[in-house]
Amino acid sequence: MEGTTPMVLNYSQAPIRKVTAATGIEYAYREVGEGGVPLVLLIHFRGNLDNWDPALVDALAGSRRVIAFDNTGVGGSSGTTPSAVAQMALDAIAFIEAIDLEQVDILGFSLGSFVAQDIALIRPALVRRVVLASSAPQGAPGMHGWAKWVIDSVGEPGIIPAKLLDVFYTQSPESRTAGEKALGRMFSRSELDTATTWQTRQAQYDAVCTWGIPNFSLLERAAAIQAPVFVANGDSDPMILPRYSHLLAGLIPSAEIKIYPDAAHGFLFQHHEQFASDVARFLDRSR
């Protein structure tokens, strides 16, 4: 692990650091803030360190240490991206151990929220609280893959910003403007992460599709999550429909849910101030 560096207060200025896990994988990560139980961020399909909105991360880091990282084979991390959520969870645990954290809070977004669920199930003592953004339980009927227009928008070799906005934001002027501002904040830094590869795209979509194979018995897995959970989504998310978030919240014993208005998959960036406030309230609440 690299030597200690001064605390960074702004995600846009946070340098990319590297740490090697016991598995031999070298992980790329950025961190900001200090204090509290560390909050580890798990990004969406094909995302890397640059796909976190700095405005959201900075708001989350107001009173706690926040760490974003590239999982195995993603962005600046070494190795090959696995095609199973369970392996992604084990890899995330290896990263958390590599930076010497004994207990964490986790915020998983989209595919990252699937990984967060498995971390909470595989290593419950590691996880204090969990935030699941745009999430669904494994085996939910209707979750097998995404609608063709959605995967065509986010799954092609070249990402077209206008198509990305169609999935992450609604057609309202307010939502679309918020999306354009978020994209501007994400890619305004001088040090950008390594772009994700086609191998990562293929492996991650295999993982998404496998997670969504209908299987009612697998829904029971969510009931075993012991940590308190905050489930959140946008009211117009076309990738993971809000009804799946409601289903997930109903399956987890200690879950609460909030649906954000006039928002799609990128609701947490569009409503970054409110979402960060809701997350902070949830994480700071007495059990």
Q: How many alpha carbons lie under 13 Å from residue 207 in its C-beta half-sphere?
A: 25
- Nearest in space to 33 (alpha carbons), one of 51, 9, 12, 60: 9
pLDDT, tens digit (0-9, with 9 covering 90-100), for 155-194: 999 889 999 999 999 999 999 999 999 999 998 888 999 9
- pLDDT (average), residues 26-42: 97
The reported pLDDT for the residue numbered 106 is 98
- pLDDT (average), residues 142-160: 94
The reported pLDDT for the residue numbered 53 is 98
How far apart, in Å, are the Cα atoms of 219 and each of 81, 85, 214? 25, 15, 9
pTM beyond 0.75, yes or no: yes
The reported pLDDT for the residue numbered 188 is 84
Take residue 173 and report the two structure tokens written for it: 């002027």
Say yes or no to pLDDT of 3 above 70. Answer: no
Surface-to-core class of residue 8, CB atoms within 10 Å of its CB (0-12 exposed, 13-18 middle, 19+ buried): middle
- Cα separation, 207 vs 111, whole angstroms: 9
- Cα separation, 238 vs 113, whole angstroms: 16
- Say if residues 263 and 239 touch (Cβ distance below 8 Å): no
Better pLDDT: 158 or 273 = 273
- Nearest in space to 176 (alpha carbons), one of 265, 110, 270, 241: 270
The values of phi and psi at residue 269, to 5°, are -90, -40
- Cα separation, 162 vs 16, whole angstroms: 28
Say yes or no to pLDDT of 146 above 80. Answer: yes
Q: Which domains, and CATH codes, for the chain?
A: 11-284 (3.40.50.1820)
Average pLDDT of the chain is 95
Phi-psi region of 165 (alpha: psi -120 to 50; beta: other; left: phi over 0): alpha
The reported pLDDT for the residue numbered 7 is 65
- pLDDT (average), residues 97-106: 98
- The number of residues in the chain equals 287
- Cα separation, 98 vs 81, whole angstroms: 18
